[in-house]
Amino acid sequence: MTQLTELTAVQLVDGYRKGEFSPVDAVRAALRRAEETQPSLNAFVRIEAEQALAQAELSASRWRRGEPLGLVDGVPVSVKDLLLMRGGPTLRGSKTIGADRSWDEDAPSVARLREHGAVFVGRTTTPEFGWKGVTDSPLSGVTRNPYDTSRTSGGSSGGSAVAVAAGAGPLSLGTDGGGSVRIPAAFCGIFALKPTYGRVPLYPASPFGTLAHVGPMTRDAADAALMMDVIAAPDARDWSQLGPAHESFRAGLDAGVRGLRVAYSPSLGGQVAVRPAVAAAVRRAVESLAAQGAYVEEADPDFPEPVAAFETLWFSGAARVVQHMPPARRELLDPGLREVCGQGARYSALDYLAAVDVRMDLGRRMGLFHATYDLLVTPTLPITAFAAGMEAPRGAGYRRWTGWTPFTYPFNLTQQPAATVPCGTDADGLPVGVQIVAARHADALVLRAAQALYSAGAGGIAPPAPSPR
């Protein structure tokens, strides 16, 4: 018998509509999974059972009257602890933030979910201020992979990825400044979309500037499209938001990929060493797109590795986060974060503008690339999940997390939509993700291609065992 914790948001809403079960049933099941797995996985900063059950009761009453508030009324949702949510502190993984402030404002995406009746089950873990591609922090410790608790969940939206994978609610809000929804989604076997910059409004503005996006982390592409229809609504607090979407992200979701021009880049022109098991799983996903009628060609985007430019922008943003902290408070920071903040503070304005020049040229190159190709497909990551509690794999020769994420951060620089779809596992049973990228504003096309993989059975893997090992 299918458990409620195994259902997607689309399936839950359909079940509520038919009266097969209620939001109270679904929320209780999600809370039970959150509480059962918290000791081993550490996905949550806070599990908010009392408030969630109260919200679920109200939702159940609305469904009984046939008057749901919106598209996700009664669906259990979690929120990364970087995004404001009224009624409780947003601590951002840091001991430097006091919980005794006034917490009376929702971030735009949280506000839209609340308006549509979502039930908030808890706040998920993040590295301090979301600074790195794994999830551990001085505040909340290490978040672990549901497929193997000795491995990392990835980051920085690691708690959100683990919550969805573990069955603690099918929807979660994450943020992505260099891969932070895609990295943990790939490591934990779920779907995630980094939308075009500005498509989902963000407030307060990120110290990492226009690298930072808000995106859905979900069971599959259909759930992400549903969630985008909620969170992509305008909010006047974000001066850089895009105008309203022209149509629902669910419109045309099942149109398939026949006739689409797909560039398959297995290693960004030989710049990236990809593990064989990862390469094989991604190639099978690409072959599925071709079998469904896409015109697939092996082709690489024309850009040199932009890691130096990205790090200039990213580390400068980190330095801005702590700029006004007194020395005593800085001692509370993650040592790695202190180090990159020091590096970021040493960059000059000319260094920063030179990085912006690289970014603009990269955007130009990708604009021309997508004049020829509708989609770019790559591995999401060249590796599978490594040991928990480390910023980079032991012995890999990388000092920083940017060394093992060469497929993700370039598309934060260009602000393009990019998604990760689980497409297989390695010999250790660890998930592999395939990344789908499109031109700016073509978010719906990314979702459509991802949906084609799910429909053909090439997307998605078996969920982790109920009791994480």
pLDDT tens-place string over residues 35-68:
999 999 999 999 999 999 999 999 999 999 999 9
Q: From the candidates 156, 160, 172, 316, which is the catalytic residue?
A: 156
Read off the pLDDT of residues 304-355 as tens digits, 9 standing for 90 and up: 999 999 999 999 999 999 999 999 999 999 999 999 999 999 999 999 999 9
Residue 421 lies in a domain: yes
Q: Is residue 320 part of a domain?
A: no
User: How sure is the predictor about 1, in pLDDT bands with cuts at 50, 70 and 90?
Assistant: very low
pLDDT digits 0-9 by tens, 230-268: 999 999 999 999 999 999 999 999 999 999 999 999 999
Q: What residue numbers bound the domain in which 217 lies? A: 4-307+348-455
Q: What is the mean pLDDT of the chain?
A: 97
For the chain, what is the HEC assignment?
Answer: CCCHHHCCHHHHHHHHHHCCCCHHHHHHHHHHHHHHHHHHHCCEEEECHHHHHHHHHHHHHHHHHCCCCCCCCCCEEEEECCCCCCCCCCCCCCCCCCCCCCCCCCCHHHHHHHHCCCEEEEEECCCHHHCCCCCEECCCEECEECCEEEEECCCCCHHHHHHHHHCCCCEEEEEECCCCCHHHHHHHCCEEEECCCCCCCCCCCCCCHHHCEEEEEECCHHHHHHHHHHHCCCCCCCCCCCCCCCCCCCCCCCCCCCCCEEEECCCCCCCCCCCHHHHHHHHHHHHHHHHCCCEEEECCCCCCCCHHHHHHHHHHHHHHHHCCCCHHHHCCCCHHHHHHHHHHHHCCHHHHHHHHHHHHHHHHHHHHHHHHCCEEEEECCCCCCCECCCCCCCCCCCCCHHHHCCCCCHHHHCCCCEEEEEEEECCCCCEEEEEEEECCCCHHHHHHHHHHHHHCCCCCCCCCCCCCC
Q: Is residue 21 part of a domain?
A: yes
* pLDDT on residue 217: 99
- For residue 186, give the CATH number of its domain: 3.90.1300.10
Which of 140, 160, 180, 206 is the catalytic position? 180
Q: Is 180 among the residues known to form the active site?
A: yes
Domain count, the chain: 1
For residue 316, being part of any structural domain is answered with no
pLDDT at position 117 over 60: yes
Tell me, yes or no, whether 63 lies in a domain. yes
Residue 179 lies in a domain: yes
The question of whether 40 is a catalytic residue gets the answer no
Q: Which residue out of 80, 194, 206, 455 is catalytically annotated?
A: 80
Q: Would you say residue 145 lies in a domain?
A: yes
**What's the mean pLDDT in 186-215?**
97
Active site residue 153: no
Q: Is residue 322 part of a domain?
A: no
pLDDT value of position 2: 64
